[in-house]
Amino acid sequence: MAGGRQLAGGGVLIRPPDPGDEPGYELLLLDPEVSAWLRPEPLSPFSSAEIAEMLADDLRHWRDAGFGPWVLVDRDDEELVGRVGLHRTSVGGELVTELAWTVRPGWQGRGLATAARPVYQSPKPLPLALARAAQTADIAAEHLKIVCREEKLLEPGFRAADLPRLLRKHPQDALMLVGHEPDFSEVIASLTGGNVKMAKAGVALIDYAEKKGKLLWLVPPKLVRR
Amino acid sequence: MSDRHQDLELAAPPDRAREIVREAVAELGWKCLEDEDGALVVRESPRLLLGRWPVGIKVSIADAGGKRSALKLCGRMGGFGPFIAEQLKERMEEFASRLQRQAAAHSASSA
């Protein structure tokens, strides 16, 4: 399954671009109808090098600004179907933010623009790390059929001392927390006394009581993947 | 896509005006081709940084009499909206004033 948040109406996921999206960008930008719109005569069509540079620019945009164009992918075959989101550009010597929007012809007219709006027009765009954690949480919640909520305490800087407050806010027998490194490794070490290194997308189960924890298992992403 | 048209008169005969266009394009690092009807096709190098699409301009040159040329600039850029329209306008005005500077320099040197 492709990572990303599902758009209302189903069928399409939205996520920030990643370096592996170059074939998807080519599929989108070399489509004859898209090319006629973005590279009209007398301009020449996109070259592979320009497409690679465009993806690199989108990745830089996310890294530097904390937001940028998102990609829309087909939920079933993970093919890229569009690129949408806020993007900085320069007009009259001033830096402005525009809405970039391109959808492959077969996917137009399905209301993707409306469905994607709450993601790309969030009042405060999520920094990349936060966006990734939110996507991971969405995927886990969908698979486990559990409710997913955003929790500010889990933002970078989360410590073991925050846990009692977090548990008071979410009084459940079992909670799945998705957060950031090195915070989670440090929290586990602080609770269990063990020297633990959480890999990105790794999962750990902690039996927690009385401000202490017992590490029951720690699974690296390779095993989680199936 | 977005289109913009601009007319321009240069103080140079058509043959020299063609050279002026080619020189200006070379200075900018853009590309210049010639299409079947003799018009010049100018393509800006892609400037993806800061999300700006390149501009393409077709330049038709006619004799305006009195050693002057009438240039018709037809510019195009990908996308649409007020920002794109403004960027296209900026780029075409920049190109037109470069042509006029070049023509003025030419007439000064040949005077």
Provide the CATH number for the domain around residue A41. Answer: 3.40.630.30
pLDDT for A155 equals 81
Cβ of residue B42 closer than 8 Å to a chain A Cβ = yes
Q: What is the mean pLDDT of residues A103-131?
A: 76
| A123 min Cα distance to partner chain B (Å) | 21
- Which pLDDT tens digit goes with each residue over B59-72? 999 999 998 999 99
Instruction: Judge whether B69 lies within some domain.
Output: yes
Q: In chain A, what percentage of residues exceed pLDDT 70?
A: 91
- Cα–Cα dist B44/B21, whole Å: 13
- Which pLDDT tens digit goes with each residue over A13-71? 889 999 999 999 999 999 999 999 999 989 989 999 999 989 998 998 888 888 889 99
Give CA B7 to chain center in angstroms: 10
Instruction: Judge whether B56 lies within some domain.
Output: yes
- Window 46-75 of A: residues touching B by CB (8 A cutoff) are 50, 53-54, 57, 61
Q: What is the mean pLDDT of residues A193-205?
A: 85
Give CA A139 to chain center in angstroms: 10
Q: How many domains does chain A have?
A: 2
The residue of chain B with its CA nearest to that of A29 is: B78
- Secondary structure (3-state) at A70: strand
pLDDT for A122 equals 62
Picking from B51, B58, B78, the nearest residue to A37 by CB comes out as B78
- Which pLDDT tens digit goes with each residue over A8-20? 666 888 899 999 9
Question: Residues A10, A116: one domain?
Answer: yes
Judge contact between B23 and B102, C-beta under 8 A: yes
Instruction: Mean pLDDT check: name the lowest of A12-21, A101-110, A146-155, B23-32.
Output: A146-155
Instruction: Judge whether B41 lies within some domain.
Output: yes
Nearest to B66 by CA among B9, B8, B13: B13
Q: Which residues in A lie closer than 8 A to residue B57 (C-beta atoms)?
A: 42
Picking from B49, B77, B83, the nearest residue to A57 by CB comes out as B49
Let me know the angle formed at the C-alpha of A133 by A131 and A134, rounded to the nearest 5 degrees.
Answer: 65
Question: Residues A71, A115: one domain?
Answer: yes
CATH of the domain at B52: 3.30.530.20
Instruction: Judge whether B64 lies within some domain.
Output: yes
Cβ of residue A92 closer than 8 Å to a chain B Cβ = yes
Cβ of residue B1 closer than 8 Å to a chain A Cβ = yes
Q: In chain A, what percentage of residues exceed pLDDT 90?
A: 31
The answer, yes or no, to whether residue A117 has pLDDT greater than 60, is yes
Instruction: Judge whether A62 lies within some domain.
Output: yes
- Which pLDDT tens digit goes with each residue over A65-100? 888 899 999 988 889 999 999 888 888 777 788 888
Question: Residues A18, A69: one domain?
Answer: yes
